[in-house]
């Protein structure tokens, strides 16, 4: 009896929950209204069946519960009824499946006017490649990947020379232009998802998969990875900016082509040395760092990382509220005029001899190992050297007190939350692997052991 009432109430409750719920699909931003139509159709058909079946179930329980003097009816089967019910079910299934297959056909067949853009996934970043003026993407191979050629574009292929390579997780798309994204992965499975576009597809190393959509709404949307790709899966985020054609044209004109990245002039170390004079006051003549002045060691750090951080200080992505020393640094960073100047300084720093910094932090090395090995080593590697591939800086032999400050900053939201600091945002999430200052010090103490 109670069961019949509860099942009745659950049905009513589910209906109320649905109508009261603010949780539903996010507003669509691509021309895939047909997918939403299929979902709604299925929702209402199945919703009706859910309500009907369960109300009937509740009725049966209530009506035919055991009572004095009541007996069950003997009826082994009723073939006609069963066949009739199966037929109705079949009709319902066809009603849901048929539109689904039609929409799938339009998803499978890419329209001729769609432009091709490559989406490249690697642990744990998004990068993009546009076909350039010739409208064709050059061939690429995972075995050609190097720090200077992160896409593995075939340098022999003339079609690839004018490809626009975007080594940044932000994708720009012109409004109303159908796009076919060609999906490639350099390591594990990933999945390119923009919830507003409704479609998603895996990136599989060794082959090129695709999906297509027609962006219909301006805005900035999240790109998510939705296929488990290792420990950094949940921080593998990107963004897609849908903007009017004119804005898009202006944006893409600023990007570099593949041949430009290959033929970039070598950095001017002498110019870098001159510029470094301002830095030497705090960071030391040989980039050895100075804890008293809150200047971390620079020698031995990877040039791409130094470049990126100086850029962040210049952009205001670092050194904002709560980061006093970062604000000092931002002032100095702004003395470097442009990207070339930044590159020059980084190149000069790269010439310094790398002697490990003196350990200043103590902690439980075993616990530090445990945390580091489980969570940090995936990017910063077992030896703490870091790698351009994972966008991870070197940790071993660098200033341990600086490590403690920065992890604390990540945890406090002082560093990494600026919209342009995509890689810092990953650290904000990963830094939760260390729950308090003590654990941060443990990890720092463990990293100190990596130099010996």
Partner 1 sequence: MSLFKSLAVKPWERKGIIGGLRPEGAFDTSPEKVGLSYFLVIASVVFSLFMVSYVIRMELPDWQPLSEPGQLWANTLLLILSSVLFQWTRNIVSSDKPRNLMTAFFGAGLFAILFIAGQLMTWGNLQEGGFYLTSNPANAFYYLLTGLHAVHLLGGLWVWSKGAIRLLSGAEAKDLRLSVELCTLYWHFLLVVWLILFAFLANT
Partner 2 sequence: MAYVPLADQDKEMEMHHPHSWVEKYVWSQDHKVIAIQYGSIAVFTGIIGLTLSVLFRLQLGFPESVDFIDPNFYYQAVTMHGMIMVVYFLTALFLGGFGNYMIPLMCGARDMVFPFMNMLSVWTFLLSVIILMASFFVGGGPTGAGWTLYPPQTAMEGTPGHDMGIVLMLISLAVFIVATTMGGLNYAVTVLQYRCRGLTMMRLPLTVWGIFVATILALFAFPALLVAAIMMLFDTLLGTSFFMPAVIEAGAPLDHNGGSPLLFQHLFWFFGHPEVYIVALPAFGLVSDVLSTHARKNIFGYRMMVWAIIAIGGLSFIVWAHHMYVSGMHPYFGFFFATTTLIIAVPTALKVYNWVLTLWEGDIRLNAPMYFAIGFIFTFIHGGLTGLFLGNVVIDLPLSDTYFVIAHFHMVMGVSPILVLFAAIYHWYPLMSGRMFHEGLAKAHFWLTFLGAYAIYLPMHYLGFLGVPRRYYQIGATDFIPASAQDLNASITIAAIFVAVAQLLFFVNIIWSLKYGKKAEKNPWGSASLEWQTPDLPPKHGNWGDELPTVYRWAYDYSVPGAHEDFIPQNTPETVEPTVDEEHFDPDQDASKADI
Q: How far is the CB of 79 from partner 1 (least distance, A)?
A: 10
Judged by beta carbon distances under 5 to 8 A according to partner kind, the member of partner 1, partner 2, none in contact with residue 95 is none
* Residue 77 engages partner 2 in binding (rule: CB under 8 A): yes
- When asked if residue 124 is in the footprint of partner 2 (CB under 8 A), the reply is yes
Per rule CB under 8 A, is residue 72 in the interface with partner 2? yes
Look at residue 19 and give the partner it binds from partner 2, partner 1, none, a contact being a CB closer than 5 to 8 Å depending on partner kind.
Answer: none
Q: Least distance in Å: CB of 201 to partner 2?
A: 5
Our CB check for partner 1 shows the closer of 76 and 353 to be 76
Total residues contacting partner 2 by CB under 8 A comes to 120
**What are the φ/ψ torsions at residue 290 (nearest 5 degrees)?**
-155, 105
Spatial separation of the C-alpha atoms in residues 391 and 167, rounded to whole Å: 11
> Least distance from C-beta 364 to partner 1, angstroms?
41
Report the b/e string of 314-348 with b at 16+ CB within 10 A: beebbbeeebebbebbbebbeebeeeebbbbbbbb
Site string (155-194) toward partner 2, x via CB under 8 A: ----------------------------x--xxxx-x-x-
Listed residue (232, 171, 170, 183) closest to 422, CA to CA = 170
Which residue among 229, 242, 336, 396 contacts partner 2 (CB under 8 A)? 229
153 touches, from partner 1, partner 2, none (C-beta below 5 to 8 Å by class) = none
Is the distance from CB of 144 to CB of 182 less than 8 angstroms?
Answer: no
Grouping H, G, I as helix, E, B as strand and the rest as coil, residue 153 is strand
Evaluate whether 191 touches 201 at the Cβ level (below 8 Å). Answer: yes
Region 178-207 residues binding partner 1, contact defined as CB under 8 A: 206
Return the SS3 of 308.
helix
CB atoms within 10 A of CB 143: 6
Q: How far is the CB of 76 from partner 1 (least distance, A)?
A: 5
Kindly state the smallest distance separating residue 109's Cβ from partner 1, in Å.
Answer: 24
Taking CB under 8 A as the criterion, the residue among 22, 69, 76, 353 binding partner 1 is 76
How many residues bind to partner 1 according to rule CB under 8 A? 3
Could you give the CA distance from residue 271 to residue 286 in angstroms, rounded to a whole number?
Answer: 16
Token reading at 189: 């499975």
Q: Are the C-beta atoms of 127 and 150 separated by less than 8 Å?
A: yes
Residue in the block written with tokens 């369960």: 54
* Shortest Å distance, C-beta 21 to partner 2: 6
Residue 21 interacting entry, from partner 2, partner 1, none, C-beta within 5 to 8 Å by type: partner 2
Compute the distance between CA of residue 41 and CA of residue 115 in angstroms, rounded to an integer: 31
Q: Tell me which stretch binds partner 2 (CB under 8 A): 138-146, 299-307, 315-323, 351-359.
A: 138-146
Angle between helical axes of 79-108 and 33-63 (0-180°, round to 10): 160
Q: Is 20 or 143 the residue whose CB approaches partner 1 more closely?
A: 143
Q: Which of residues 363-392 bind partner 2 (CB under 8 A)?
A: 371, 373-375, 377-379, 381, 387-390
x/- track of binding to partner 2 for residues 42-61 (CB under 8 A): xx--x--xx--xx-xx--xx
Report 393-452 residues binding partner 2 (CB under 8 A).
425, 429-430, 432-433, 435-436
Nearer to partner 1, 63 or 79 (CB): 79
Q: Which residues contact 416 (CB under 8 A, 6 or more apart)?
A: 409, 410, 424, 425, 426, 427, 428
The tokens for 65 are: 């519960």
Among 117, 119, 123, 308, binds partner 2 (CB under 8 A): 123
CA gyration radius for the chain? 29
Where along the sequence are the contacts to partner 1 (CB under 8 A)? 76-77, 206
């Amino acid at each position: 009896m109670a069961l019949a009432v509860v099942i009745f109430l659950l049905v009513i409750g589910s209906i109320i929950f649905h109508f009261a719920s603010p949780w539903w699909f996010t507003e669509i931003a691509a021309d895939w209204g047909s997918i939403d139509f299929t979902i709604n159709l299925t929702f209402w058909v199945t919703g009706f069946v859910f309500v009907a079946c369960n109300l009937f179930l509740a009725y049966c329980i209530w009506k035919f519960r055991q009572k004095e003097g009541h007996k069950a009816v003997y009826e082994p089967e009723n073939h006609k009824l069963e066949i009739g019910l199966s037929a109705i079910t079949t009709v319902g299934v066809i009603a849901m499946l048929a539109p689904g297959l039609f929409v799938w056909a339009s998803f499978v067949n890419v329209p001729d006017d769609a432009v091709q853009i490559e989406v490249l996934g690697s642990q744990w970043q998004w990068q993009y490649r546009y076909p350039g003026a010739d409208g064709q993407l050059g061939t690429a191979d995972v075995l050609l990947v190097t720090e200077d050629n992160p896409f593995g574009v075939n340098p022999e292929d003339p079609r690839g020379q004018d490809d626009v390579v975007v080594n940044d997780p932000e994708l720009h798309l012109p409004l109303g232009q159908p796009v076919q994204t060609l999906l490639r992965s350099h390591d594990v499975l990933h999945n390119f998802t923009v919830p507003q576009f409704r479609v998603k597809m895996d990136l599989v190393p060794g082959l090129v998969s695709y999906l297509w959509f027609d962006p219909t709404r301006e805005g900035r949307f999240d790109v998510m990875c939705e296929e488990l790709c290792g420990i950094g899966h949940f921080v593998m985020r990107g963004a897609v900016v849908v903007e009017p054609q004119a804005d898009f044209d202006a944006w893409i004109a600023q990007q570099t082509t593949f041949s430009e990245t290959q033929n970039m002039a070598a950095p001017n170390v002498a110019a870098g040395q001159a510029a470094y004079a301002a830095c030497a006051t705090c960071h030391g003549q040989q980039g050895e760092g100075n804890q008293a002045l809150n200047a971390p060691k620079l020698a031995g750090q990877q040039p791409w990382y130094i470049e990126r951080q100086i850029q962040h200080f210049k952009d205001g992505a670092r050194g904002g509220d709560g980061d006093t020393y970062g604000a000092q640094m931002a002032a100095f960073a702004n003395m470097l005029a442009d990207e070339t100047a930044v590159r020059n300084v980084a190149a000069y720093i790269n010439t310094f001899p790398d002697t490990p910094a003196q350990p200043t932090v103590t902690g439980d090395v075993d616990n530090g190992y445990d945390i580091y090995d489980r969570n940090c080593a995936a990017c910063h590697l077992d030896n703490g050297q870091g790698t351009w591939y994972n966008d991870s800086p070197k940790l071993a032999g660098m200033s341990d007190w600086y490590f403690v400050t920065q992890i604390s900053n990540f945890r406090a939201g002082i560093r990494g939350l600026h919209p342009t600091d995509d890689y810092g945002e990953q650290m904000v999430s990963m830094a939760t692997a260390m729950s308090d200052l003590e654990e941060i010090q443990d990890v720092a103490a463990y990293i100190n052991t990596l130099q010996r």
